[in-house]
Structures are given as structure tokens and as C-alpha cells.
A and B are shown apart, each in its own frame.
Chain A
């Protein structure tokens, strides 16, 4: 049953020009960044040749590419998640799901997986760029895999938060803005850690979405980072289920 909801979410994305536009725009921007990164690599290559234990192309090209992808998608994901529930609420199609033999959890997870599937597709397209480097060199596959995992977890976290924001309102725009605001805030939480007290700043930095991603980009696979994202996702999915339930129950 979850898959039916997910499938329908994915298909409806591709029925409108939205999915295609987003795929095209993201690909174009990241391709430009990818090329400028290659150019940079070409410039410093002579110097790298003289260094001992010099960073490889994975570190110089792939890590920044994935870092940039995360920032670009921070802007894009709210647009994908904004209509998930709010639009159905506004068009009163939610009752179709509510009166079908489905639990709230199935609805929420279905919608979440639908968007995650789309983002995975987008990630595959982004991944094609570093893979194209294989024609002229070798890649550090361990690091690439860790970066991919990081991006996937990060995007899923964005989606879970976006889904929750969408369940709060009937206006997709409001859902998009709140998601974007919340994500950005979580992203820059660690900015204060440099100037603020070490202890308080540490907690803030730990909560920041970007810290855990950076570790994974460097190829450091730390289970604490993975658990952080999984907890983040689970929290917002559970909150969404509870929010939908609250729609029905008498307050």
C-alpha cells in the first residue's frame, strides 16, 4: 500500500513540468560548477604533481560538487515537498486517502518515499558527472559512496522536514517558505560555534545539518552521523503522522 502512494506521488511529479524543470535546472547549474571545478583542478595539477600524498580528483572535484549540490537542493527540495499534503488538503482530495483502507503511517511514508525516489533519481544524474571522469582517470569509490550516502540522507532529511511543514498548512507557498527557512536555519546553526562559548556552540554545531554531511563528504563514515539523519527523518515523519491524525480527532 505504501508503494502505491509513493508511485502515485512520483508519477504526478512527472505529469507536471515541475519535475522536468527541476531536473534540468539542477543539472545545468551543477554541470557548470563541475566544469569550473575541473578547470581549477587543471590549473593546480602541476603543483599537485610535486606534492606528496596530494589530494586526488575525488577530493578536489567530487567533494565540492556534492557540497554544492546540497546547497542547490536546499533551495529546490522545499518546492518539491510543498504540495505533498497541503495541496491535497486545499483540493480536498485528502479524504480519498482517509476513506481508503490505509493508515496514516502508510500515507506519510508513501509520500515520503515518493519524493525520496525522485531525489534519488536526481542524485543518479548528478553522479553521472563524476563517473564521466573515469574515462580519463580513477576515482576513490569509497569516498564517492560515502558522499552519495551523505547526500541521500541529507535530501531525505530535507524531504521529511518539508513533508511535515506541508502537513501543517493548506497553502503550498507557506509550506515551501517555512521548509526553506527551517532548513536554512538548521544549515547555519554551526556558524555561531566559532564565536560563541565552546560548550553552547558545540551543541548547536552538533544539531547543524551540514556538520554531519561534511564528515561524510570527506569519506569519514561515522555511525553517529548516520544515526543523526535517521533520527531527524523519523522525528519529522512521526510528527507528520501525528499532525494528520490530529486533523480527525476532536481537540
Chain B
């Protein structure tokens, strides 16, 4: 699938990237591309190789094998040009606690070779985008974790890089801060390409255009969010009735493929996606006096999809679909 992309237009091209630490292989043969203006979610359980990949993309780790092209520049051969296109926020924001926000961002602007005359504007812009205007003169060490994270993001976008790499940007934040950071990432996605690594699934759903799942160092899934949504469509209904009929009665309703008794009153009904039997079930319940009190169309949660993809082999992951056929 990755070969379908026109190679020249991709902002980031990663080819057969591998890296091992001693005998442990952290990342094995990972290839993907990121287009301009795309938000790519990088999902994976803990220890799957997310951070290692992010570190390699940002030039903090040299790949054991493979190639990384950023905007056409090879990260190993032309590190300065390539790194100029990248803003990176590691898992732990790389902030100096003894500096104020203004001093710190000023330093970052200089490090990223922003012209002296433009530094002030760049700092002001980054602060405004990350909601830091009111804390500019405070010491970073005295800021809350959420604000430190924002300072970290401000640092990553100060030189307006084409690609922003964020490694687990919402870890350790409270729900309100998480929402704010997500909104910020979506906003970033309008002008920059963003790679977002996380193990929080709803985050990917909320923010990203495309999702990649990495497990045990290998890329196991890559699709658009719409594709992931489709995958989550399941074909079962959970029924709860005080006076359930015999299973045969349920099976006789058009579209019903199988019935599982979950408990005395609860039944899970698998149906043909082409022919949703919900309405017939309700009508049958009324006429048959089943005392139906719950009818829940089930969706496969993102967690289930995730577990399916990462924990089982591919054939097993297809099971719901096979049942439906």
C-alpha cells in the first residue's frame, strides 16, 4: 500500500527502519510516509517501539538500518537541513526548569537558527498558539505539568517546522488539559504535518486523519480513521428481556444469524449487516410480550480492535466479519 504514494511529494519517507538495543529489537523494518498537512496517529501498547521510532525520526537516535527522508533531505547525510524541518516533543518535555518561559523559547528560537530580528515575533506566535501568553515571565519549574507540556509544544513549533513530532503529548494531564492539548494538535494539523504517538485510543480517533498501529517493533496496521471506524462496526445487538422467548423464536426472525444467551435475561444477537433485525425484534417483543427493556446495538470498541490487531494473528482479527457472512 505504501508504494501507492508518490514519493516526491511526501514530507516524510521512512524506509525499512530498524533499530535494536543489544539483543532486543525495538523497531524492525518499519516503512511509512507522511503527507503534508496530515495528522498521523502512531498507536501501540507500551514497549511497542513508538518512542524509539519517534526518537529516530527526530534524529535523537541513529537508525540501525533504513533511511529517513524529511522533505527530501536524508536525516543521516544532511542532518542540519532535515532537522530544520522537524519540531520534536519527547515524552518528557525538554525544558530547563530554571528559565522563564520567555527565556526558554528565546533560546529555542536561537537554537533553531531563527534570524535575530524575527525571534521576538516567533516567540510571541508560539506562546499565543499554545496559550502561554499569560505565563511568559514565570519560571518553567513553577508551572503545572500541563503548562510545561505546552511549553514543550511551543518549543517544537517555534520555527514553524513542516513536521511536528509529538511523543505521548497528553500523558499525565488532567481531562481538561487533555482536551486543550488535543484542540491545539488539531489546530497544528491545519498548517503542519503532525505525527502523534500515543497508547490512548480515543485520542487517535479524536485528532488524527490516519492511524498506524505498531506492535513488537513492527507495523501491523495502517488505515484512515474512516477505515478504522468501519472496522469497529460490529453486527450484534444486546437484548434484555424479563420474559425471554425460546432461542428458536429469536433465530426465526429475518436477519438473525445466531443467538448467545449471556444470562437468563440477556441475549446477544448476531445479525447480517445487510439486514438489521432491530425493528422486527421490537415488534416481535410487543406481540410476544417478552417485556423487552433494553436493546443495545453493540459496537466493537476501539480497544477491542486494538487488542484484536496487536494480540492475535490477522485471521483471528477478521472473526467478526466471518461470523457476519
Q: Which of A's residues lie within 8 Å of B, judged by CB?
A: 1, 4-5, 8, 12, 15-16, 91-103, 248-251
B94: chain A residues within 8 A (beta carbon): 91-96
Which residues from B are CB-within-8-Å of A248? Answer: 59-62
B90 touches A92 (CB 8 A): yes
Instruction: List chain A residues, Cβ under 8 A from B307.
Output: none
B222 close to chain A: CB less than 8 A: no
Q: Name B residues whose Cβ lies closer than 8 Å to a Cβ of A.
A: 19-22, 55, 58-64, 79-81, 83-84, 86-88, 90-92, 94-99, 107-108, 110-113, 155
A99-B98 in contact given A4-B110, A251-B22 (Cβ < 8 Å)? no
B61 contacts across to A, CB distance below 8 A: 248
With a CB–CB cut-off of 8 A, which chain A residues contact B111?
1, 4-5, 96-97, 100, 102
Give the Cβ gap from A89 to chain B, nearest Cβ, in Å. Answer: 11
A250 to B55, CA, bound (A): 13
Q: Could you say which residues of chain B place their CB within 8 Å of the CB of A95?
A: 55, 58, 60, 88, 90, 94
Q: Which chain B residue shows the least CB distance to A249?
A: B62
Q: List 5 other contacts, CB 8 Å, given A91-B96, A94-B94, A250-B63.
A: A16-B98, A96-B94, A99-B58, A101-B81, A102-B80
Chain B residues with CB under 8 A of A100? 83, 108, 111-112
Given the complex of chains A and B, what is the CA–CA distance between A91 and B63 in angstroms? 23
Query: Nearest B residue to A251 by beta-carbon distance?
Result: B22
Complex Cα distance, B103 from A12, in Å, reads: 11
Q: Which residues of A contact B92 (CB under 8 A)?
A: 91-92
Residue of B nearest to A102 (CB): B111
With A96-B155, A101-B79 as given contacts, are A4 and B60 in contact (CB-CB < 8 Å)? no
In the complex, are the beta carbons of A99 and B99 less than 8 A apart? no
Q: Contacts of B108 on A, CB cut-off 8 Å?
A: 96, 100
Q: Measured between C-beta atoms, what is the minimum distance from B53 to chain A in Å?
A: 14
- Please determine whether A99 and B62 come into contact, CB atoms closer than 8 angstroms: no
Contacts of A16 on B, CB cut-off 8 Å? 98
Query: Among A4, A94, A103, which residue has its beta carbon within 8 angstroms of that of B80?
Result: A103
Q: How far is the CA of A4 from the CA of B111 in the complex (A)?
A: 7
Give the distance in Å from the alpha carbon of A115 to the alpha carbon of B5 in the complex. Answer: 50
When C-beta atoms are compared, the residue in chain B nearest to A93 turns out to be B94
> Do A98 and B59 touch (CB < 8 A)?
yes
B residues less than 8 Å from A4 (CB atoms): 107, 110-111
Give the most central of A91, A94, A103: most B CB within 10 Å: A91
Is the beta-carbon distance between B99 and A250 smaller than 8 angstroms? no
Cβ-closest chain A residue relative to B86: A99
The smallest C-beta distance from A199 to any residue of chain B, in angstroms, reads: 44
The docked-state distance in angstroms from the alpha carbon of A103 to that of B83 is 11
Q: How far is the CB of B153 from chain A (nearest CB, A)?
A: 13
Q: Is the CB of A93 within 8 A of B95?
A: yes
Q: From the candidates A1, A91, A98, A103, name the one contacting B60 in the complex (CB within 8 A).
A: A98
CA distance A100 to B22 in the complex (A): 27
Please tell me if the beta carbons of A15 and B80 are within 8 angstroms of each other in the complex: no
A113 to chain B, nearest CB (A): 15
B78 CB to nearest A CB, Å: 10
Q: Which residues of A contact B79 (CB under 8 A)?
A: 101, 103
A101 to B62, Cβ gap below 8 A? no
Contact present for A250 and B64 (CB under 8 Å):
yes
B95 neighbours in A (Cβ, 8 Å): 93
Nearest CB to that of A92 among chain B residues? B92
A103 and B94 alpha carbons, distance in the complex (Å): 18
B269: shortest Cβ distance to chain A, in Å?
Answer: 52
Which residues of chain A are within 8 angstroms of B84 by Cβ–Cβ distance? 101
Q: How far is the CA of A93 from the CA of B107 in the complex (A)?
A: 13
Q: Are the C-beta atoms of A101 and B90 separated by less than 8 Å?
A: no
Q: Which residues of B contact A93 (CB under 8 A)?
A: 94-96
